[in-house]
Amino acid sequence: MVACRHCDWLHYKLIIETGSVARCARCNSVLYTRKPFSIDRTLAASLAGFVLLVLSLSLPFLSLTRSGLNSEISVLDAISALWLSDMRWLGILALAFIVLLPLARLLILILVLWRLRFRLGIRLWMCRAMRWAERIEPWAMAEIFMIGVVISLVKISSLATLDVGPAFWSLLGLIFTTTLTSVVYCRDTIWQLLTTRLA
């Protein structure tokens, strides 16, 4: 049996075709899905996101030129500047929400989905890891950081010449791949594989 998350109406869980959606008979909300090639697509998007995240941390993010002086800053430099300017809590939060949580979620998805994709065996820790990946998802806030950056660029553009670096575009690509991961990720398919193969 499966209960509707919105109205609690109980349904018998049926096997649906790939690409289909099961809806509640009472309120028509989605009960469960079966997205095509969910593991392959989610794994590919997670691998791309991991590469883009590493690039966004290692390459220059912004370049500022004023009165003949030029300086470059990376994402980690910005976090370090917050730490050194007595805004340590803000630096810790920025490091957690922009770097550590997205990185942890991507690594969990890659590790678990890689083992599922290549049938390397199911372990109990994989179920626990996937629960953590789903809990982390709302807190990985690279897109909020980008909104703040864009607002800052608008304000600073009148004071100096700004050039966005490759890390800016990498972070933008990371936001796109994170969104793509959420779209192609089929929770029901992956959890069914985890539970049935573990049993």
Helix (H, G, I), strand (E, B) or coil at 3: strand
> 19 and 67: one domain?
no
Confidence check: pLDDT of 53 > 90:
yes
Confidence check: pLDDT of 151 > 90:
no
> 13 and 72: one domain?
no
Confidence check: pLDDT of 193 > 90:
no
| 188 Cα distance to chain centroid | 18
Domain enclosing residue 42, as ranges: 38-198
Residue 164: predicted pLDDT: 83
> 2 and 24: one domain?
yes
Q: What percent of the chain is modeled with pLDDT above 70?
A: 96
d(CA 64, CA 73): 8
Residue 17: predicted pLDDT: 83
Longest dimension (CA), the chain: 70
> 22 and 77: one domain?
no
> 81 and 157: one domain?
yes
Residue 20: predicted pLDDT: 83
* Two structure tokens written together for 98: 């922009």
Residue 113: predicted pLDDT: 95
> 63 and 23: one domain?
no
> 70 and 150: one domain?
yes
> 137 and 62: one domain?
yes
Q: 171 with 75: CB under 8 angstroms?
A: yes
Confidence check: pLDDT of 42 > 90:
yes
> 141 and 58: one domain?
yes
d(CA 47, CA 114): 10
CA torsion sign for 149, 152, 154, 156 is negative
**Residue pLDDT, tens place only, 59-82:** 988 887 777 777 788 888 888 888
Helix (H, G, I), strand (E, B) or coil at 63: strand
> 9 and 82: one domain?
no
Q: What percent of the chain is modeled with pLDDT above 90?
A: 27
Confidence check: pLDDT of 189 > 60:
yes
> 72 and 129: one domain?
yes
> 68 and 114: one domain?
yes
Confidence check: pLDDT of 140 > 80:
no
Residue recorded with tokens 């049935």:
196
Contacts (Cβ under 8 Å, ≥6 apart) of 19: 34, 35, 36
Number of domains into which the chain is organized = 2
